Structure 1
Amino acid sequence: MKVLVLTSQKRIEKYTDFSKIPNNWELLYLDSVYREEEALRIGKTADFIIVDAVSPVSRNLIENMPNLRVIHSEGVGFNGIDTQAARKAGVYVCNNASLNSGAVAEQAILLMLALLRRLREGDSLVRQGKQGQAKIPFILNGIPELASCHVGIVGFGSIGRATAKRLAAFGSKVSYFSRRRLSEQEENDFGAEYLPLDELAASCDIISLHLPVTPDTIGFVDGDFLKKMKPSAFLINTARGEIVDQNALAQALEDGSIAGAGLDTLDPEPATLENPLLNLSDSCRYRVLFSPHIGGTTDDVFYRLHRNIWNNLFLAAQGKRPNNIVNGI
C-alpha cells in the first residue's frame, strides 16, 4: 500500500506508531502546501491520501489516481476536498470528527476568561511598570466573572456540547442555537436552553461559535448579526475564520458595537498582514485577542487523530468500510 502524505512529515513522524504500520506500506511525503503535478508525479499510484485539514484535494487529483481508496483529513475540516468527485470515483473521504472537542472547548474558555480579565492589557501594563496604575481602574471599571455571564453557543455539535459542559462547572448560564433543537432531557443534561438566533445574539454576554464551514455558514456572523449583540458582549471564534465577515467584525470593534473578540482562527490562513483585524486602531488593540489556530492541536488530540487515521486506512486496506465517512458513500 502507498500513502500520499499532504501534511507535515514531522507531525506524521511524531504522532504515528510506526510499529503498527506494515513493512510493505510506503509513505510518500509532500506537505500541506504542494504542487498538484508533483503530487501526481510521486503519488499517482497511491491507495490513500492523508491531507492537512485546510489543504485542497482537487477533482483532477482524484480522477488521476486510479488506485485511490481513501482521502483522510488530518483534522475535522474537509471543505478543501472535492467530496463530490471522490464520491463519483468511489473514494471514501474521512475526517476526525469529535476527537478534538474537549481541546477546542478549553481554548474557547481560555479566550473568554482572557477577555473578561483583560489579560493582554494587564500583562502589557505590568511589563511597563504600571501595575499600580492599572489595578484601580480595572477594579472600578468592573471585572466580571464567567459565572455571571450568559453565554450563547452557536452550533451545538460535539465541540459546542463540550463547551457547555465546561461552562456548567463555572456556573454560567448557557443558551444555544442549532438547526436541530435537543430534546428536553438533552437540554437538561447539558444545562443549556434553546434560544432563537436573534434572541441569543441580543441577550448573551458572550457568543461562542462552533459551526462547520458550509456554503450556508460562510459569513454567518455579518454586520447585521453583530449589530444585534450587546455593546458589552464578546465574540469567540474557535471554529473557522470563514464563518465571520472580518471587515464587519473590524468595524464593530472600532465603533464599539461589541466589546471585544477572541479569535483562534482567521480567513485566510495562514493569516496575512492585510487582514483588517490585524490593522485595528490603537484604541482597539486590547479589544481583540488572537491565538494561532491551536485550539484542537494538543498532544493528546494529535495522538488520537493519528490513531484514528491509521485505523481507518487499515480497515480500507482489508476491504472494510472505514469510520467517519463524510461524503455519503
Structure 2
Amino acid sequence: MKILHIGNEKNVENYTAKTPFTETAEVVNAPLGLTDDAYAQMAPDAEVIIVDAITEISEGLMEKLPALKMVHSEGVAFNKIDLAAAGRRGIYVCNCAGMNARAVAEQTLLLMLGVVKNVVFGDRAVRDGRQMEVKMGYMGAGSLKELADCKVGLIGFGAIGKATADMLHAFGVTVYYTKRHRLDAEEEARYQVQYLPMDELLKTCDMLSLHVPVTGETMGMCNREFFAKCRKGSYFINTSRGELVDDEALREALENGTIGMAGLDTLDHEPVQKDHLILSWPQEIKEKILFSPHIGGITGSSFRRGYAMIWEDIEKISGGETPGHIVNQKELNLG
C-alpha cells in the first residue's frame, strides 16, 4: 500500500501503532506548500493521501494520481478537499470524526472560564502591582461571575458539543443547544440539554459556543444579523473554525458591547501572522479577546485516536472493503 502523507512528517511516525500491516505500508512524507505537480512526482502511484486537516486537496492533484482510492484528513476538518471531484472518481474522502472531542471540549471550557474570569486582565494586573486595585474593584461591583451564572448555548451538537455539555454539568451550568435536527427526548435527557431554535438560543444564552463544521451554509454564519440577535454582554467562544465568523461583524459586536468578551482558538486566514486584520484592531477591542493558537484538537491523545482511525480505514481499503469514516457519501451516491 503506497501512501502520500502531506503534513508534519513526524505525525505518522509518532502516532502510528506498530502492527504487521502498518510496518509493511510505504509512506512518502511531503511538506505543506508544494504544488500539485510536486506532490504527484513524489508518489505517482499513491493509493491513499493522508493530509493535514486544513490543507487543500484539489481535483488537479487527484487527476495526477490514477491509483488513488482514498483521501483521509488527519483531523476532523475536510472542507479543503474537493469532495465533488473525489466523488466523480469514486475516491473515498474520510475524516477522524470524534478523535479530538474531549480535547476541544477542554479547550472550550478553558476559554469559557478565561473570559468569565478575564484571566489576561487579571494576570497583567498582578504583574503591574495592581492586585488589590482589581480585587477591590470586583468586590465593590459584584461583577465577577461563576460559570454557572451563565446560560450556555452550544451551536451544533456533534461529538465535541456533547463532550462540552458533559463537562459543563460539573460546573452546574444550564446548557442549551441548537442543531439542524433536534435530538430525541432520550438523548436530550442523557446529555441534560434543552433544545432552542437558533434565534431563541441567541437571545436566551449568556455564553455562545460554536461547534459546527465549515460548509457553504455555515461559512460566515456569525455575521451582523447573528450578533444583533445576541443578548447584550454575551460571551462568544469559537473552537471550531475561523471561517464561521465575519470578523468585522465581531468587531462591531465587541465595540458596541453586544459581545462582552470573545474566546477564540481559531481565526479566519490562518496561519495568523503579525499583519492579521484582527491584530490591527484598537487595543481596547483586542483586550476583549482571549486568544489561543488553534491547539484545541492537537493533543497527543487526539492524534493517537485519529491515526488508529486512519490505519483502520487504510487496511479496509487494502482489503477491498469500504472505509468507516466517509464524509462524501452524497458525492459517491452512497445515500
- The residue aligned with 2:214 is 213
2:264 and 2:292 in contact (8 A); partners too:
yes
2:86 and 2:92 in contact (8 A); partners too:
yes
What is the Cα deviation at residue 31 of structure 1?
A: 1.8
Is 1:124 equivalent to 2:118 in the alignment?
A: no
Q: Aligned partners of 2:102 and 2:284: how far apart in 1? A: 34
- The residue aligned with 1:278 is 279
- SS of the residue corresponding to residue 170 of structure 1 reads coil
Alignment of 1:71-150 (within 5 A): 71-141=71-141, 142-150=143-151
2:22 and 2:311 in contact (8 A); partners too:
no
2:237 and 2:264 in contact (8 A); partners too:
yes
Q: Deviations over 1:64-85 (max 9, x none)?
A: 2111111100000111111111
Q: Aligned partners of 1:96 and 1:57: how far apart in 2? A: 16
> Identity percentage over the alignment?
42
- SS of the residue corresponding to residue 122 of structure 2 reads helix
Q: Deviations over 1:94-114 (max 9, x none)?
A: 100012111111111110000
Q: Aligned partners of 2:84 and 2:32: how far apart in 1? A: 21
- The residue aligned with 2:4 is 4
Q: Closer, same or farther in 2 for the Cα pair 1:24/1:165, shift >3 Å?
A: closer
Paired amino acid for 2:287? Y
Q: Aligned partners of 1:301 and 1:52: how far apart in 2? A: 14
- The residue aligned with 1:65 is 65
- SS of the residue corresponding to residue 78 of structure 2 reads coil
Is 1:198 equivalent to 2:169 in the alignment?
A: no
Is 1:319 equivalent to 2:311 in the alignment?
A: no
What is the Cα deviation at residue 115 of structure 1?
A: 0.5
Is 1:230 equivalent to 2:242 in the alignment?
A: no
Q: Deviations over 1:196-235 (max 9, x none)?
A: 1111111111000001110000011101111211222110
1:254 and 1:280 in contact (8 A); partners too:
no
Q: Closer, same or farther in 2 for the Cα pair 1:178/1:88, shift >3 Å?
A: same
| CA RMSD of superposed structures (Å) | 1.4
1:147 and 1:173 in contact (8 A); partners too:
yes
Q: Closer, same or farther in 2 for the Cα pair 1:46/1:121, shift >3 Å?
A: same
Give the TM-score, by structure 1 length.
0.96
Give the TM-score, by structure 2 length.
0.95
Paired amino acid for 1:171? G
- The residue aligned with 2:288 is 287
Q: Aligned partners of 1:281 and 1:230: how far apart in 2? A: 23
Unaligned runs of 5+ in 1: none
**Segments of 4+ moved more than 3 angstroms:** 18-24, 272-276
What is the Cα deviation at residue 257 of structure 1?
A: 2.1
- SS of the residue corresponding to residue 309 of structure 1 reads helix
Unaligned runs of 5+ in 2: none
